[in-house]
Structure 1
C-alpha cells in the first residue's frame, strides 16, 4: 500500500486517532464515515493505493460546487480541530485478500503514528439471536483493551461486547496467527461452505482489521450495529454518534456547523438515484 499526499498537504501528527469503515451489510460503516467527514469538514490530504482494493472513480462526495476533484477508492481526510484522521473506502476488497489488505492498513497506521483505531461496521439483522429493541438501536463493540474483547469505557456507555466473541475459536485464532505472521495450514480454516454460526463474525472484514491492528500493538475498537439492506441512514448517524462519544468529541462543537450537529453529505442527495419519471403514472 502506498500513501500519496496531495500537493501542499501533509499528515497531521496531532491527528492520532484513525476512523475507518469495514465494508459489510448495508454499507453502514461507510455512511457513518461519510457523515463524520462532512460534519467535521475534513480536509482530504491524500489517498491510499492498494492492489487489493477494486478500482473506482466518482464525483466529489462532499461539495456541491464542482472543484474538479474525483473520488477514489481509498481516501484519507484530516480534521485537525478534532484530532481525527478518517479513511473512506468506496469499493470492496478483492475476494480472498482481506487479511493482506488489513495488514497493509495496519502498516499505514503504524507508519503514521496512530494511537487509537476505530473501525465502524455492521452486522446482519437476520442473524441477531436475541432481539431486544426496547431501548432502540444497540451498539456492540469489540476492543483490544482486554483479551476477552471487553472495554470498561465501552461498557460505561451501555454498549455490549460482540456476542460469542472467543479469541480461541478456530477462525478468530486463525486470523490472529495470520496477522502475527504465523503461517497457518490450509486445513486449519474451514471452506466457505463449511462456515457455521460460530464463524460468522470472524468471517467479516472488521475481524481481519481488528486482528491486524491488534497484532501491531495498536489500540483498536470496533463499533458495530445490526441492520438489514435498505435505508440505513439512521444506523449511520447512530454509529457516527457512538464514535464521537467514545472519543470524547462533541458533535455540537464541530467547526462551522449552524443549526445542528450533523451535515448531510452532498452525495446523499442521489443515494437512491433520480426520482421516478412521472410520465409513467
Structure 2
C-alpha cells in the first residue's frame, strides 16, 4: 500500500515507474540509487508492506534527509518519472503476496509503463547467452510496441532455455537464476496486461558498481533521462551513502 508523504496523494497517471529487483549484486537497487540521486528526485511517500524485511537507516542521498525505510517512492513530475526503491529482501513465502500488491498498486496508479531493473547469475548462462553483450530485456504483451526501439539500440531479448538440456530441447522457458521476484513479476504483469519491461544484466557478486553504471547507461539510451556531457559521458551522481558501500576503511591501528 502506498502511503503519501504529503496530505494529498500525488498523481502518477501517465508516469513511467522504475523499480529494482533484489537480485545478484544488488545491481538494480544501485542503478535506481543513481537515477534518484542524479535527478534529485524528492521522496513522495513509501510503500507500506509486511512482505519485506523491516529496516531503517540514514538518508541515502543527503545528510539533510529524514530516515529511510525498506521501500520508498520518489518522483520527478517534469519527466513524468517515479521510482520505487526497495532496500531489503522479500520475506520467505511472501513473494507471491508482494508481487500481487505491487501489480495492484501499479494498475491503480495508472502508470503508463513499468521498468524492472534486475540481474542474473553470469555463471548460469546458457551457451547462446554467452554471445554478445550481457544486457537482456523482456517485454510483457502490453508493451510489445517498444520492441523495435530496443532492438535498434542493439539490445537482445532474454532467450528461453531448455528445461531438460540434452533430453528434451523442445520444452523451453525463461530462466533467471538470482533474479529474485523478476520472473514471477513478469509473469504476473503478462497475466494482468500490465505494460512491463524487464532490463537485466548478467553479472557476478562482488563490486557491482560498474554493473550499475552499465545498466543505467543502457536505460538512459532508451528513456533519455539525462543528457550526455560535452565529453560524451553521462554525468551520473553517486549517492553520498556509497562511500560506505563496503564498510569503513581499514583501521590504521591494525598495522
Separation in 1, partners of 2:121, 2:130: 15
2:196 aligned with 1:220: yes
Q: Tell me which residue corresponds to 2:108.
A: 111
How far off is 1:10 after superposition?
Answer: 3.8
Separation in 2, partners of 1:80, 1:147: 22
1:15 and 1:79 in contact (8 A); partners too: no
Higher strand share: 2
Separation in 2, partners of 1:84, 1:58: 25
Give structure 2 stretches of 5+ with no counterpart: 165-171
1:12 and 1:80 in contact (8 A); partners too: no
**TM-score of the two chains, using structure 2 as the length reference:** 0.85
Question: CA offsets, 1:117-168, max 9 Å, x none?
Answer: 10000010111234758x7x531001114899992222111111112169xx
Note the aligned Cα RMSD (angstroms): 2.9
2:200 aligned with 1:232: no
2:247 aligned with 1:248: no
2:141 and 2:190 in contact (8 A); partners too: no
Aligned to 1:82, the other structure's residue is in SS state coil
Separation in 2, partners of 1:155, 1:225: 16
1:58-97 mapped onto 2 (5 Å cutoff)? 58-63=57-62, 65-67=63-65, 69-97=66-94
1:194-209 mapped onto 2 (5 Å cutoff)? 200-201=175-176, 204-209=180-185
Once the two structures are overlaid, the 10-residue window that deviates more, 151-160 or 240-249, is 240-249
Residues 1:150 and 1:125: Cα distance change in structure 2 (over 3 Å): farther
> What is the aligned residue count?
243
Separation in 2, partners of 1:226, 1:142: 14
Q: Tell me which residue corresponds to 1:274.
A: 248
Residues 1:210 and 1:199: Cα distance change in structure 2 (over 3 Å): closer
Aligned to 1:118, the other structure's residue is in SS state strand
Question: CA offsets, 1:192-222, max 9 Å, x none?
Answer: xxxxx96742874111111222222121100
Q: Tell me which residue corresponds to 2:139.
A: 143
Separation in 2, partners of 1:112, 1:148: 21
Separation in 2, partners of 1:148, 1:249: 21
Residues 1:119 and 1:165: Cα distance change in structure 2 (over 3 Å): farther
How far off is 1:81 after superposition?
Answer: 2.3
Q: Tell me which residue corresponds to 1:51.
A: 50
Question: CA offsets, 1:51-70, max 9 Å, x none?
Answer: 2111110000000x334x11
Separation in 2, partners of 1:132, 1:216: 32
Separation in 2, partners of 1:118, 1:163: 19
How far off is 1:8 after superposition?
Answer: 4.9
Once the two structures are overlaid, the 10-residue window that deviates more, 15-24 or 40-49, is 15-24
Aligned to 1:151, the other structure's residue is in SS state helix
**TM-score of the two chains, using structure 1 as the length reference:** 0.78
1:11 and 1:112 in contact (8 A); partners too: no
Residues 1:209 and 1:149: Cα distance change in structure 2 (over 3 Å): farther
How far off is 1:111 after superposition?
Answer: 1.1
Residues 1:227 and 1:200: Cα distance change in structure 2 (over 3 Å): same
Separation in 2, partners of 1:4, 1:81: 22
Aligned to 1:62, the other structure's residue is in SS state coil
